Amino acid sequence: MKKTVLISGLLALSTAAFAAEKKSYQVNGMHCGGCVKNVEREVCKLEGIENCKAHVVNEKKEIGTVSFSLKPGATLTEADIKNAVEEKAGYKFAGEYKAPVGKKKKN
């Protein structure tokens, strides 16, 4: 029993350390696969980014995200992401994305 607790504690620690390097930003104005490609094309080519993916989160509200991890030593700033999203891809950068916690069910 004690052993199990210890192991899951270690797992939680390593997951947290990995998650810290992950970045997720909200992009407004995204509604389809074309938008996903547009955002990925501009953001994912930036220096220091890996595992880069864009998603449409809410088609109706035109909310999307772009998520990636930063390579060690990457000097990329939020302003660089904003520039790629707004000036290059043509969408609205809306800061760090916070996933809705505990989705409420309608029924």
CA 15, distance to chain mean position in Å, is 16
**Count of residues that interact with Cu ion, criterion CB under 5 A:** 4
Q: What mask of x and - would describe binding to Cu ion in positions 25 to 64, judged by CB under 5 A?
A: ------xx-xx-----------------------------
- The torsion angles phi and psi of 82, rounded to 5 degrees, stand at -60, -45
- The torsion angles phi and psi of 101, rounded to 5 degrees, stand at -90, 130
Q: Which lies closer to Cu ion via its Cβ, residue 34 or residue 100?
A: 34
Confirm if 24 and 71 have CB atoms less than 8 A apart: no
Q: Which lies closer to Cu ion via its Cβ, residue 35 or residue 81?
A: 35
Which amino acid is it at 21?
E
Q: Which lies closer to Cu ion via its Cβ, residue 3 or residue 36?
A: 36
Q: Residues interacting with Cu ion, by CB under 5 A?
A: 31-32, 34-35
